[in-house]
Structure 1
Amino acid sequence: MRVRLSLPENDGLTIGVEEEFVLADPVTGGVALAAPQVLALLDGEPAVMPELLRFQIEIATGIRTGLDEIRADLLGLRGLVAAAASHAGCLLLASGTPPCGDLPGLPGITAEPRYHALAARFPTLVPDAGTCACHVHVGIPSPALGVRILAGLRPWLAPLLAISANSPFAHDVDTGWASRRYPLWSRWPTAKPPQTWPDAAAYAASVDDAVRRGEAMDAHGVYFYARLSPKHPTVEVRIADVGLTVEDAVLLAGLVRALVVTILAEARDGVAPRPVRDSLVVASFTAAARDGYPGHGIDPFTGGALPQRLIVDQLLEYVRPALRATGDLATIDRRLAAVRAGETGAARQRALFSEAASPAAFAAKLASATLTGTGMRGRRGPPPAQRPAAVHDG
C-alpha cells in the first residue's frame, strides 16, 4: 500500500528541542556545582532551567516549524549559557556523561523539593544520575495518533542512539561504550522502550501503573525512551545523548520529525506498525550504545547482526519521502555524510582526549567543540541578551 505523505496545517508538526549540559571546572576538568550561579546570572531566562544535579543545566528551544529555526535557537542558547558559565568560573560541556573526575553524589542535588523527593525515593540511582540527553518534541494531532507513533518508533530508536552517542568517557577513562549514558540512564525503573499500546487509554493506564507502583513520582518522571509528553501535545523522543555540536541536534530533530510524519502517513493509510519483539528492541539498544556508529548493530526486525551503517541507511530510506515533504532532505543528507565520515560525538570525544595532556585540557577542548558555530569559542564577555520562552518537559 502506497504511503501518502502530506502535512495538513492542523497536524501541528512543530519541533522543539531540549538539551542538557555538564558544567565543568576549568582547573580540574571535573564537575562544577555552579548551576545556581549560572542561572542567577541569567536572571530568570525562561529558556534555561536547572536539572537534578547542580553541575547540570538545561536549555529548550521555542516551538518551531523548521530546522533552521531550531539551529538558530540552539546556537544562541549555547552561547548564552556558555557566557554566563564563564562569568561563574566554569565551562559548558555537551557530553552525555561528565567525562572527568568524580561525582559529588547526593550532596550535589539541586535545592528543589522535587529533586530531594526523587533522591529520597531512589537514593542509589541519583548519585550517578548526572547524564545529559537531547529530547526532541514533535507536535501530534491527538493522543490516539501519538500512541500509534510510539509503536512505529520502536524499531528506529536504536539507530538514533547510535548516531547520537556522545558519552564514551567517565572518571577520566574511556568506558568502552559509545554512549555510557545509556546503561546509566536505563537503571531507572521506567527507562525502557515504548510498548505497542492499543490506544491512548492503555498508554495512560501504563503511566498510572508506574506511578502507583512507585517507579515514578508522577507522569513527568516516567522515562520511556519515547513518550507522550505529559505537558505538551507532542511525542517526545528521549533516547539520544546530547549532541557535541548543534548540528548533531539538528540531525536528530530532522530524523525524528521525519519518522513521525512517516508513521502518521502509514496510520492514515491503515498500515499497522511492523511488529518487533521486545527482546530484539532491547538488544538493538545495547549494541547501539556500546559500539555507536558505524559499529555492530542488531536488526530489530530479524535479530540478525548488521553493521550500524546499514541500519541507518534503512532508516534514511524509510523516512526519505517525509524528508522531501518537510524540505529537510538536503540538511539531513549533508549531516549524515559527516557521520559516515566519522564525525560522531563519541569519535570526536576520543580524538580530543588523545590530543589532551590533562583532564582540564580535555574539558577545554570539549567546551570549545560545544560552541562550534556560535562564534563564542574561548570568548569571555557579558551574557548575551535573553531569548524567548521555550518548550520544556523536565
Structure 2
Amino acid sequence: MNDQSGDVLTFGIEEEFFVVDRDGRPAPAAEVVEHAAATGGDNGELQHELIQSQAEIATDVCRTRDEALARLRELRDDLARAARRRNRRLLPAGAPPVPEEGLPDVTRHPRYERIGAHFGATARTSLTCGCHVHVAIPDKEAGVRVLGRVRPWLPALLTVTANSAIADGYDTGYRSWRYQQWARWPSAGPPPRFASLDEYESVVDAWLRAGAILDRGMVYWDVRLSEKQPTIEFRVSDVAATPEEAVLLGVLARGLVATALADDGPPPDLSNEVLRAQLWRASRDGISGCCPHPRSGDLAPAKAVLADLIELTSAALDSAGDREFAQEATARLCAEGSGADRQLRRFAERRRGEDVVDLLAGNP
C-alpha cells in the first residue's frame, strides 16, 4: 500500500466477520473462505482468522473512496454467496449476538495453534471482529511521529463503527463490547507516545522477550506500524455494519495521517492512563452519546467531536475529494445511529440475539 497518487495517500481496509449457522450461532468458516477465494474476483484477499468461525477480507491498494467501497462490496458479496451455498450466513458484528455452543475452536494453522496454546482462554474466548485501516507512510520514522499525533483521536474513530452492543444474547451496556473484550490481550490498547522509532522497537522487543507476544504480528495496539507494509494501521474499530461506514472510517483515518504528516509541531502530551479512560467512554457511548474531546479532555457529543475531526483534517479531505462525503456520511450516521444503535433497537423488540443476527446478516 505504498503507491502514491499525487499528494493523496493510498489506503486499504481489512474487515473481519463471523460465519454463523441458520440459528445465528458461530459456525466453521474454512469451507466458506476457501470457496469464496476460489470463485471470487481479484480485488483483494480472503483469509482465515484466529477462531474457526471467523473470516477476513482485505482490499488491495486503494486511491479513492469509490475504489475502496466497490472492493469491500465485492469481497463481502463473495463471502456471503459462499456462506449461503453452505447454509450459513456472513455476520458483520463486532461480537456474536448469539453464543457459540461450547468453547470456540482455534483455526488449524501452526501460528494460530501456537497462539491458542500460549494464551489459553484469552485466545479461545476472543470472539471479536474488527475493522483495520492501513494508510501509506513514507517510512517508519515518520510513522512514529504520526502515531503520537493521531492517538488523541482514537476515541472518536472508535465511535464511527461501534457495532457490538449485543453479545451472547444480552445487552452489554456498551456500544463497542468488542473493544472491552479485545483489551484483555497484553499488547492491546492505545500505544504510548514514543520519542523515537528506537523506543517503539525497544517496547516490541521487550514484549517478545517476556513472551507477551509470540511474533511482531501480535502487536495489537489500537494504531501501530504495520509489519508487512509501509503503512500506519488503525485497529481500534469494530467491523462496520455496512461497507459505507467502513469507508467513512477509512477516509477519516487517511485524513488524520495526512494531517499529521504535515504537522511539524510536537505531539499532544496525553498519557496512556487518560487515553485508556477516554477510549472506555467512547466504547460505552458510541456515536449516540458523549466522547472526550481531544483538545480539552471534557465530554462532548460524539457528533460534535467528529465534526471537529473533519474540520481539523479538512485540507487533507479536500485534497482527496472526500470532504463532502465525510460530512454527509457522518451526518447520516449521527441521525440513524451506528450498527450498535441499530442492534439495540432491534433487540428491544423481543430481546433475542437471533433478531440482531437477522438484522445484520439477513434472514436465513
TM-score, with structure 1 as normaliser: 0.86
Correspondence for 1:18 among 3, 14, 31: 14
> How much does 1:331 deviate?
1.0
Distance change >3 Å, CA 90–CA 103, structure 1 → 2: same
Secondary structure of the residue aligned to 2:151 is helix
| CA distances 1:173-229 after superposition (whole Å, capped 9, x unpaired) | 111100000110001001021222122222122211111111111110110110000
- Which 5+ residue runs of structure 1 have no aligned equivalent? 1-6, 369-376, 379-394
The alpha carbon displacement at 1:89 in A equals: 1.4
Q: Which of 130, 135, 138 does residue 133 from structure 1 map onto?
A: 130
Tell whether 2:196 aligns with 1:199.
Answer: yes
C-alpha displacement of 1:124: 2.2
Aligned 1:272-351 pairs, distance under 5 A: 272-351=266-345
| Greater displacement, 215-224 / 339-348 | 339-348
Q: Distance in 2 between matches of 1:71 and 1:143?
A: 28
Matches within 5 A, 1:1-394: 13-26=9-22, 28-33=23-28, 35-44=29-38, 47-102=45-100, 104-106=102-104, 108-266=105-263, 270-355=264-349, 358-368=352-362
Q: Classify 1:365/1:294 alpha carbon distance in 2 versus 1 (closer, same or farther; 3 Å).
A: closer
Shift, 1:9, TM fit: 5.1
Contact 1:283 1:298 in 2 (8 A): no
- How far residue 32 of structure 1 moved from its aligned partner, in angstroms, is 1.2
Provide the identity percentage. 37
CA shift, 1:350, in A, is 1.6
Is the Cα–Cα contact under 8 Å of residues 167 and 178 in structure 1 kept in the other structure? yes
> AA paired with 1:101?
P
Q: Matches of 1:340 and 1:361 in 2, distance apart?
A: 23
**Paired AA for residue 31 in structure 1:** P
Shift of 1:289: 0.2
Secondary structure of 2:254 counterpart: helix
CA positional deviation for 1:354:
3.5
Tell me, yes or no, if the aligned pair for 1:10 and 1:141 is still in contact at 8 Å: no
If asked which structure has higher relative contact order (CA below 8 Å, sep 6+), I would say: 1
Mean CA deviation greater in 236-245 or 279-288: 279-288
Contact preservation (8 Å) 1:24, 1:90: yes
Q: Distance in 2 between matches of 1:11 and 1:216?
A: 36
Closer/same/farther in 2, CA of residues 160 and 274 from structure 1, 3 Å limit: same
Residues 289-322 of structure 1: per-residue CA shift (max 9 Å, x gap) = 0111131222344332322222222212111121
Deviation of 1:265 after TM superposition, in Å, equals: 0.7
Inter-partner Cα distance in structure 1 for 2:259 and 2:194: 19
The change in CA–CA distance for 1:41 and 1:200 in structure 2 (over 3 A counts) is same
TM-score by length of 2: 0.93
* Structure 1 contact 190–222 (Cα < 8 Å) conserved: yes
Unmatched segments (≥5 aa) in structure 2: none
1:201 partner letter? D
Query: Does the 8 Å contact 1:91/1:364 carry over to 2?
Result: no
In structure 1, distance between residues paired with 2:133 and 2:37? 26
How many aligned residue pairs are there?
358
Contact between 2:192 and 2:271, CA under 8 Å: does it hold in 1?
no
Asked if structure 2 preserves the Cα contact closer than 8 Å seen for 1:95 and 1:166, the reply is: yes
Secondary structure at the counterpart of residue 74 of structure 1:
helix
- Asked if the contact 2:287–2:337 (Cα under 8 Å) also holds between the matched residues in 1, the reply is no
Coordinate RMSD, CA, aligned: 2.0
